[in-house]
Chains A and B, each alone.
Chain A
Amino acid sequence: EAGVVQSPRYKIIEKKQPVAFWCNPISGHNTLYWYRQNLGQGPELLIRYENEEAVDDSQLPKDRFSAERLKGVDSTLKIQPAELGDSAVYLCASSLGPGFPGKYFGPGTRLTVL
Protein backbone atom coordinates (compact mmCIF):
# COMPACT_ATOMS: atom_id res chain seq x y z
CA GLU A 1 0.00 0.00 0.00
CA ALA A 2 1.13 3.57 -0.56
CA GLY A 3 2.45 5.29 2.51
CA VAL A 4 1.81 8.75 3.86
CA VAL A 5 2.74 11.31 1.24
CA GLN A 6 4.03 14.77 2.04
CA SER A 7 5.14 17.68 -0.08
CA PRO A 8 7.32 19.53 -0.47
CA ARG A 9 10.21 17.57 1.03
CA TYR A 10 12.30 20.67 1.55
CA LYS A 11 11.42 24.35 1.81
CA ILE A 12 13.64 27.35 2.36
CA ILE A 13 11.99 30.71 2.99
CA GLU A 14 12.82 34.04 4.52
CA LYS A 15 11.28 35.02 7.83
CA LYS A 16 7.87 36.66 7.67
CA GLN A 17 7.00 34.74 4.52
CA PRO A 18 4.09 32.28 4.45
CA VAL A 19 4.58 28.56 3.86
CA ALA A 20 2.26 25.59 3.44
CA PHE A 21 2.77 21.86 3.77
CA TRP A 22 0.57 19.17 2.29
CA CYS A 23 -0.14 15.65 3.50
CA ASN A 24 -2.04 12.77 2.00
CA PRO A 25 -2.61 9.97 4.52
CA ILE A 26 -2.83 6.26 3.87
CA SER A 27 -6.14 5.42 2.23
CA GLY A 28 -8.81 4.65 4.78
CA HIS A 29 -6.97 6.22 7.69
CA ASN A 30 -9.41 8.49 9.49
CA THR A 31 -6.92 9.91 11.98
CA LEU A 32 -4.30 12.37 10.79
CA TYR A 33 -1.58 14.03 12.87
CA TRP A 34 0.83 16.86 12.29
CA TYR A 35 4.04 16.75 14.33
CA ARG A 36 6.98 19.11 14.51
CA GLN A 37 10.46 17.70 15.10
CA ASN A 38 13.22 20.07 16.10
CA LEU A 39 16.79 19.01 15.53
CA GLY A 40 17.91 16.41 18.06
CA GLN A 41 14.48 16.07 19.65
CA GLY A 42 11.47 13.83 19.44
CA PRO A 43 8.39 14.79 17.44
CA GLU A 44 5.84 17.02 19.17
CA LEU A 45 2.17 16.88 18.28
CA LEU A 46 0.74 20.03 16.74
CA ILE A 47 -2.75 18.89 15.80
CA ARG A 48 -4.81 15.72 15.44
CA TYR A 49 -7.78 15.23 13.14
CA GLU A 50 -10.51 12.63 13.34
CA ASN A 51 -11.90 12.78 9.82
CA GLU A 52 -12.35 16.50 9.16
CA GLU A 53 -12.61 17.52 12.81
CA ALA A 54 -9.62 18.88 14.70
CA VAL A 55 -9.96 17.10 18.04
CA ASP A 56 -6.67 18.18 19.61
CA ASP A 57 -4.99 21.42 18.61
CA SER A 58 -3.80 22.47 22.04
CA GLN A 59 -0.16 22.54 20.93
CA LEU A 60 -0.75 24.49 17.73
CA PRO A 61 0.49 28.11 17.91
CA LYS A 62 -2.71 29.56 16.62
CA ASP A 63 -1.42 33.07 16.12
CA ARG A 64 0.60 31.96 13.12
CA PHE A 65 -0.24 28.32 12.41
CA SER A 66 -3.40 27.00 10.81
CA ALA A 67 -4.45 23.64 9.47
CA GLU A 68 -7.32 22.19 7.56
CA ARG A 69 -8.64 18.84 6.45
CA LEU A 70 -11.73 19.86 4.56
CA LYS A 71 -12.88 16.54 3.15
CA GLY A 72 -11.41 14.32 5.81
CA VAL A 73 -8.64 13.05 3.55
CA ASP A 74 -5.63 15.20 2.75
CA SER A 75 -4.54 18.05 4.96
CA THR A 76 -2.65 21.33 4.76
CA LEU A 77 -0.61 22.98 7.49
CA LYS A 78 0.19 26.66 7.06
CA ILE A 79 2.51 29.08 8.81
CA GLN A 80 2.03 32.80 8.31
CA PRO A 81 4.28 34.59 8.97
CA ALA A 82 7.19 32.22 9.49
CA GLU A 83 9.76 32.92 12.20
CA LEU A 84 13.34 31.72 12.55
CA GLY A 85 12.30 29.35 15.33
CA ASP A 86 9.92 27.54 12.99
CA SER A 87 12.83 25.81 11.28
CA ALA A 88 12.17 22.11 11.85
CA VAL A 89 10.93 18.97 10.18
CA TYR A 90 7.14 18.83 9.93
CA LEU A 91 5.89 15.27 10.00
CA CYS A 92 2.47 14.04 9.05
CA ALA A 93 1.21 10.72 10.33
CA SER A 94 -1.96 8.74 9.96
CA SER A 95 -3.66 5.81 11.60
CA LEU A 96 -6.85 3.83 11.26
CA GLY A 97 -8.12 5.33 14.47
CA PRO A 98 -7.00 6.80 17.79
CA GLY A 99 -6.14 3.37 19.13
CA PHE A 100 -2.88 3.37 17.18
CA PRO A 101 -1.57 6.93 17.36
CA GLY A 102 1.09 8.03 14.93
CA LYS A 103 1.85 4.59 13.63
CA TYR A 104 2.64 5.57 10.04
CA PHE A 105 4.73 8.64 9.45
CA GLY A 106 5.32 10.47 6.22
CA PRO A 107 8.84 11.46 5.10
CA GLY A 108 8.44 14.97 6.49
CA THR A 109 9.03 18.47 5.18
CA ARG A 110 12.27 20.08 6.27
CA LEU A 111 11.65 23.81 6.69
CA THR A 112 14.49 26.29 6.90
CA VAL A 113 13.63 29.87 7.76
CA LEU A 114 16.39 32.36 7.00
Chain B
Amino acid sequence: GENVEQHPSTLSVQEGDSAVIKCTYSDSASNYFPWYKQELGKRPQLIIDIRSNVGEKKDQRIAVTLNKTAKHFSLHITETQPEDSAVYFCAASLTGTASKLTFGTGTRLQVTL
Protein backbone atom coordinates (compact mmCIF):
# COMPACT_ATOMS: atom_id res chain seq x y z
CA GLY B 1 0.00 0.00 0.00
CA GLU B 2 0.86 3.67 -0.09
CA ASN B 3 3.20 5.12 2.51
CA VAL B 4 3.55 8.87 3.04
CA GLU B 5 6.39 10.39 5.02
CA GLN B 6 6.26 14.00 6.18
CA HIS B 7 8.98 16.31 7.50
CA PRO B 8 9.57 18.14 9.70
CA SER B 9 7.32 17.06 12.55
CA THR B 10 7.50 20.52 14.11
CA LEU B 11 8.36 23.85 12.54
CA SER B 12 8.69 27.22 14.17
CA VAL B 13 8.97 30.37 12.08
CA GLN B 14 8.74 34.07 12.78
CA GLU B 15 5.79 36.00 11.46
CA GLY B 16 6.44 37.09 7.91
CA ASP B 17 8.91 34.32 7.16
CA SER B 18 8.21 31.41 4.81
CA ALA B 19 7.48 27.84 5.87
CA VAL B 20 8.10 24.70 3.83
CA ILE B 21 6.78 21.24 4.62
CA LYS B 22 7.90 18.24 2.59
CA CYS B 23 6.32 14.86 1.89
CA THR B 24 7.38 11.77 0.01
CA TYR B 25 5.16 8.95 -1.19
CA SER B 26 5.87 5.39 -2.21
CA ASP B 27 3.20 4.43 -4.78
CA SER B 28 4.03 5.85 -8.20
CA ALA B 29 0.39 5.33 -9.23
CA SER B 30 -0.83 7.96 -6.74
CA ASN B 31 -2.16 10.95 -8.62
CA TYR B 32 -3.90 13.24 -6.14
CA PHE B 33 -2.10 15.12 -3.38
CA PRO B 34 -4.11 17.28 -0.96
CA TRP B 35 -2.92 19.29 2.01
CA TYR B 36 -5.03 19.71 5.14
CA LYS B 37 -4.83 22.20 7.97
CA GLN B 38 -6.09 21.10 11.36
CA GLU B 39 -6.40 23.49 14.24
CA LEU B 40 -6.52 22.09 17.75
CA GLY B 41 -9.77 20.22 18.32
CA LYS B 42 -11.08 21.05 14.86
CA ARG B 43 -11.71 19.06 11.71
CA PRO B 44 -9.09 18.78 8.97
CA GLN B 45 -9.72 21.39 6.30
CA LEU B 46 -8.52 21.14 2.75
CA ILE B 47 -6.32 24.11 1.93
CA ILE B 48 -4.86 23.17 -1.44
CA ASP B 49 -4.53 20.12 -3.65
CA ILE B 50 -2.65 19.13 -6.77
CA ARG B 51 -3.05 16.43 -9.37
CA SER B 52 -0.21 14.57 -11.01
CA ASN B 53 -0.55 16.34 -14.33
CA VAL B 54 0.42 19.64 -12.71
CA GLY B 55 3.82 20.54 -11.28
CA GLU B 56 2.85 23.54 -9.21
CA LYS B 57 -0.27 25.23 -7.92
CA LYS B 58 -0.61 28.47 -6.04
CA ASP B 59 -3.41 30.07 -4.04
CA GLN B 60 -2.54 33.43 -2.52
CA ARG B 61 0.09 32.76 0.16
CA ILE B 62 0.18 29.00 -0.21
CA ALA B 63 1.63 26.90 -2.99
CA VAL B 64 2.26 23.24 -3.59
CA THR B 65 4.92 21.72 -5.84
CA LEU B 66 5.02 18.14 -7.07
CA ASN B 67 7.96 16.15 -8.41
CA LYS B 68 6.56 12.88 -9.75
CA THR B 69 9.93 11.50 -10.71
CA ALA B 70 11.25 11.87 -7.19
CA LYS B 71 7.84 11.12 -5.65
CA HIS B 72 7.80 14.11 -3.40
CA PHE B 73 5.64 17.17 -2.94
CA SER B 74 5.91 20.25 -0.78
CA LEU B 75 3.75 22.92 0.79
CA HIS B 76 5.05 26.48 0.80
CA ILE B 77 3.50 29.19 2.94
CA THR B 78 4.81 32.71 2.42
CA GLU B 79 4.41 35.74 4.67
CA THR B 80 3.29 33.55 7.55
CA GLN B 81 0.82 34.90 10.07
CA PRO B 82 -0.06 33.74 13.60
CA GLU B 83 -3.33 32.28 12.31
CA ASP B 84 -1.29 29.89 10.15
CA SER B 85 -0.31 28.07 13.35
CA ALA B 86 -1.83 24.58 13.15
CA VAL B 87 -0.99 21.01 12.24
CA TYR B 88 -0.62 20.42 8.53
CA PHE B 89 -1.11 17.02 6.93
CA CYS B 90 -0.14 15.95 3.45
CA ALA B 91 -1.86 13.03 1.80
CA ALA B 92 -1.66 10.93 -1.32
CA SER B 93 -4.39 9.06 -3.11
CA LEU B 94 -5.45 7.13 -6.13
CA THR B 95 -8.62 8.56 -7.60
CA GLY B 96 -11.33 6.43 -9.14
CA THR B 97 -12.62 3.23 -7.64
CA ALA B 98 -9.40 2.62 -5.75
CA SER B 99 -9.41 6.04 -4.09
CA LYS B 100 -7.99 6.09 -0.59
CA LEU B 101 -6.24 8.94 1.16
CA THR B 102 -3.06 8.00 2.97
CA PHE B 103 -2.01 10.76 5.31
CA GLY B 104 1.39 11.83 6.49
CA THR B 105 2.13 12.09 10.19
CA GLY B 106 1.61 15.84 10.34
CA THR B 107 3.70 18.96 10.89
CA ARG B 108 2.99 21.26 13.78
CA LEU B 109 3.64 24.80 12.54
CA GLN B 110 4.10 27.54 15.08
CA VAL B 111 4.26 31.12 13.85
CA THR B 112 5.76 33.38 16.47
CA LEU B 113 5.46 37.14 16.70
Contact = CB atoms under 8 A, between A and B. Distances in A.
Nearest to A43: B103
A81 to B, nearest CB: 27
B contact patch SS:
mixed
Interface string B41-84: 01111100000000000000000000000000000000000000
Contact of B99 (A43, A101, A108): A101
Contact of A44 (B34, B95, B103): B103
A30 to B, nearest CB: 12
Interface string A72-114: 0000000000000000000100000011111111111000000
Interface residues of B, number: 22
Interface of B: 32, 34, 42-46, 89, 91, 93, 95-106
